[in-house]
Structure 1
Amino acid sequence: MIDMQARIVRYGELVPCKTAFIDAHTPGSNQKENFTIIGGGVSESPDQHVHIKDTPGFNIGAAGQPPKCRNSLHSHRTAEVFFVLKGRWRFFWGRWGNAGEVVLEEGDIFNIPTGIFRGFENIGTDYGMIMAILGGNDAGGGVIWAPQVIEDARDHGLVLGKNGKLYDSKKGQKLPDGVTPMPLLTDEELRAFPEPTTSEVIPGYVARYWDLMALADRHPAKVIGEHGVLRDRPGFEVDFLNHNSARDEVIRSDRNDVLMIMRGHWRLTWDGGEAILAPGDTCAVPPNRDYRLVPSMTGEASLYRVRDTDDPAGATWRD
C-alpha cells in the first residue's frame, strides 16, 4: 500500500536551491530560489533537492523570488505552465525579452507557448512564489538559454557544460576533461524562435483567477486540455476547483492526480487516513486510489488539479 502521507509536500517544508541555474551569480537573478517538488525538473545543479522523485508524466516545481529579482531568458521544448501562488509577477518573452509581456496576479495561470524565449520577475513588494508544471518525465531534456545569458553567467563565474551541468569557477570547479562548454545558439538557430506579440499570446495562453472562480461555480473548470479555457494537449490536463465545484464524493481516476492548493484549507481523505492541505501544499495521488477532497472550512477555497494524459509531451498544440 502506498503511503499517502509521504506523497504530500508541504509548502513550509520545501527545500530551496539557490544555484539551480546558470544565472545564479548574475546580478538581478542571484537571489532566486528554485524548488523541485515532483520529478527532477530542469535544474542544472547537483545540489537541487527533489521531494518526490517519481514522475507522473510531468514535473512540478516552483520559483521563489524577492522583489525585483528575475529569471533569465530561456526556452523549453515541452510545456511550461505557471500559476501565481504569492505576489505579482511580470512575464516577458522574445530574443531580448521585449517582444511582449503580461502581468499575473495571485491565482492567474499562464501556459507559455513552447519554442519562445521567456523570463519572469517578481514586481510585487514582498517575497513571491510561482508554481510550475513542466511537460514530460524528463521535462523536455533541459533548458535552452538565450546566448547573452550564457555570456553574462561566464563573466560571473558559472559555466554550463554541454553535458547540461554547471561548473562554478568561484569554487575552483572547471569543466572535466572531454566536456566542452554549452555552445551558443547561432544566428540561424535563433531565427527559428518566434517573437509573438502580447496581443497574440494573452487570449489563448492566460487565464485569470477570478474568471476561473466564476467558471467553477458548479463544476470543475477545464483550464488546460482539448476542451479547456486554454486549449492545449501537452501531455497533461489542468482543472480548477473551488468551494462550489468540490463535491463530497469519492474520486477515482486511472491517472495520476496532482493537487496544488491555491487558497483555503482542504480535507483530503482516503481509505486509512486523512490530511488537511493548505495553500502551497502539493499532493500526488496515484492512479486507482479512491479519495475525497472538500474544503475544510467556509470561505474562499481553490486549487489546481493536474492529471496526466496519453498525449505526447511535445510542443504547444493548436488546431
Structure 2
Amino acid sequence: MPHTNPSTWTQEAMRERLVRYADLQACRTAFIDTRTPGSTEKENFTIVGPGVSESPDQHVHIREKHGFNIGGARQPFGCVNSQHSHDTAEVFVVHTGHWRLHFGPNKEDGSLDIGPGDVASVPIHMFRGFSKLDEGKGFLWMPLGQDDPGKVTWAPAVFKAAEDHGLKLAKGGKLIDTTGGNYELRDVELETPPTGEALEQLKTPSLDRLAQCLVRGMDMQPNPDSPLAAEGVEEAGVIVPQTTSDAFPAGPILGWWPHDFNLRRLTLQTGAYIPLHARKEVEVLFVQSGTVEICWRNADSEESLVMGAGDTLSMPVGVQHSFRNTASGPAVLFVVRGTEDPRMPVFASASVSELRGASA
C-alpha cells in the first residue's frame, strides 16, 4: 500500500494522482474482440493498476499498487463487450448511460439492466458481457480485485469471431494480428477456447442469486453510525463483505468471492464538510455527480483541488484530508477503500463523538 511522507504532497504531486475524466486515455484495441462487428467502437481505460488489457498500447494512468485496480469502459449505443470471465472481482459503477449485463457463454443465461448510480458486482468464474442500451456514449467505472487481476477467459464464440477478423491470442494475454503479414506463430503458444470441462466450472449462478450482487442507487441506505456522518453528509455501504471496524454492517453486496476492498457512496449537500482526517488504507475517490473540494495538510501548509463529475483521485495512506461541497447542488462520490475491513478514520483535532456533537 502507498505510504509517503505527507510533507511531500505538493499540488503537483497530488495532481499526478488525479485523473480527470477529460484526460482519460482510451485504448480501442484492448481485447481480442476489438474487430468483431458490434464491438469496434468500445473504449477501454486503465486508471489504477495494470488492468486486464491484452494490448501493449493500453495507457495506465496510475501504476502504483493499491491492492485493487480501477478500470473503465465507454461505449456508444448498441456497442457490445463480448462474453468473458474474470478470476478476481469485477464491479460495474454506472456513471452514465443504461446498460445490459448478459450472462452465459452465449448470453443464454439471462441478463440484468443497470442505470446511472447503480452498482453491480459480477461473481468470478462465470461469463458476462455488457452492451449499451440507450443513445449516446455511456461510461462505466470499474474496480477490479487484487494488484494483479490476471487475464480474462473468453467464451468459445469470441475466439472464432476474432479469428475471422485476423486476431489471435497468445498464452499470457498478448494479442497477435495476423493481417499485417509480419507476424510469426511458430514459436508462440496460442490461447485456446475453454474446453467442455472448463466451461462446466464457469456455470452461471441463478438470476435470483445474481440479483444479490446488484444494488440500485435509489436503494443505497446511509449508515447513521458512519464516522463521517454529519449534517448534510451521508455515507452508504455498497460492497461491504463483512462487518467492519468503522461501524458498517455487512451488505448490501456481500459476495461469495473475495473483493479485497469496500465500496461506499458519499453524499454531501451544499455547504457540507467532512473535517480533516487520515485513513490507514488507500482510498480512491470517484465523483459520480456534482463537484467537491478536496483539501489536504502538508507539514506546514494546506493545499486543495476541485474534482468534478467523472474524475478519479487516489488519496495516499496517512494524508490528512477533508471534503467540502461548495456548489449549489449535492455532490455524490463513490469511494473504494483497500481492504474488506476498513478501520476508523483518524481525525485531526477531535474525537468522533466530539465531531458528532459539534454537528448536531
- Residue 110 of structure 1 corresponds to 120
Deviates more, 1:44-53 or 1:93-102: 93-102
- Residue 212 of structure 1 corresponds to 220
Cα distance in 2 for partners of 1:175, 1:185 equals: 24
- Residue 316 of structure 1 corresponds to none
Q: Residue 65 of structure 1 contacts residue 127 of structure 1 at CA under 8 Å; is this kept in 2?
A: yes
Q: Residue 235 of structure 2 contacts residue 266 of structure 2 at CA under 8 Å; is this kept in 1?
A: yes
Task: Give the partner amino acid of 1:236.
Answer: F
Equivalent of residue 178 in structure 2, options 169, 173, 185: 169
Q: Tell me how far 1:169 sits from its aligned partner.
A: 1.9
Matching of residues 114-263 of structure 1 within 5 Å: 114-139=124-149, 141-202=150-211, 204-212=212-220, 219-225=234-240, 226=242, 227-232=250-255, 233-244=258-269, 247-263=273-289
Cα distance in 1 for partners of 2:274, 2:262 equals: 22
1:279 aligns with 2:289: no
Q: Residue 233 of structure 2 contacts residue 273 of structure 2 at CA under 8 Å; is this kept in 1?
A: no
Deviates more, 1:298-307 or 1:245-254: 245-254
1:57 aligns with 2:67: yes
Q: Residue 273 of structure 2 contacts residue 325 of structure 2 at CA under 8 Å; is this kept in 1?
A: no
1:301 aligns with 2:331: yes
Cα distance in 2 for partners of 1:128, 1:60 equals: 17
Task: Give the partner amino acid of 1:221.
Answer: A
Q: Residue 265 of structure 2 contacts residue 334 of structure 2 at CA under 8 Å; is this kept in 1?
A: yes
Q: Residue 22 of structure 1 contacts residue 44 of structure 1 at CA under 8 Å; is this kept in 2?
A: yes
Q: Residue 39 of structure 1 contacts residue 60 of structure 1 at CA under 8 Å; is this kept in 2?
A: yes
What residue ranges of structure 2 are gaps of 5+ in the alignment?
1-7, 225-231, 243-249, 342-360
Cα distance in 1 for partners of 2:129, 2:78 equals: 13
> Identity of counterpart residues, as a percentage?
38
Q: Tell me how far 1:274 sits from its aligned partner.
A: 0.8
Which TM-score applies when normalising by structure 1?
0.92
Q: Tell me how far 1:100 sits from its aligned partner.
A: 1.8
Q: Residue 221 of structure 1 contacts residue 240 of structure 1 at CA under 8 Å; is this kept in 2?
A: yes
Q: Tell me how far 1:307 sits from its aligned partner.
A: 0.9
Q: Tell me how far 1:170 sits from its aligned partner.
A: 2.6
What residue ranges of structure 1 are gaps of 5+ in the alignment?
312-319
Task: Give the partner amino acid of 2:131.
Answer: E
Q: Give the secondary-structure state (helix, strand or coil) at the position aligned to 2:147.
A: coil
- Residue 349 of structure 2 corresponds to none
Q: Residue 95 of structure 1 contacts residue 195 of structure 1 at CA under 8 Å; is this kept in 2?
A: no
Distance change (3 Å), C-alpha of 1:149 and 1:8: same
Q: Residue 269 of structure 2 contacts residue 325 of structure 2 at CA under 8 Å; is this kept in 1?
A: no
Which TM-score applies when normalising by structure 2?
0.82
1:264 aligns with 2:290: yes
Q: Give the secondary-structure state (helix, strand or coil) at the position aligned to 1:248.
A: strand
Q: Residue 167 of structure 1 contacts residue 173 of structure 1 at CA under 8 Å; is this kept in 2?
A: no
Deviates more, 1:208-217 or 1:10-19: 208-217
Equivalences, count: 309
Q: Tell me how far 1:218 sits from its aligned partner.
A: 5.6
Q: Tell me how far 1:153 sits from its aligned partner.
A: 0.3
Higher Cα Rg, which structure: 2
Task: Give the partner amino acid of 2:236.
Answer: A
Distance change (3 Å), C-alpha of 1:223 and 1:249: same
CA offset digits 1:264-290 (Å, max 9, x no partner): 001001123211101110000011011
Q: Tell me how far 1:293 sits from its aligned partner.
A: 1.3
Task: Give the partner amino acid of 1:222.
Answer: G
Q: Residue 213 of structure 1 contacts residue 242 of structure 1 at CA under 8 Å; is this kept in 2?
A: no
Q: Give the secondary-structure state (helix, strand or coil) at the position aligned to 1:250.
A: strand
Q: Tell me how far 1:31 sits from its aligned partner.
A: 0.7
Cα distance in 2 for partners of 1:54, 1:13 equals: 18
Cα distance in 2 for partners of 1:296, 1:173 equals: 56
Cα distance in 2 for partners of 1:286, 1:169 equals: 43
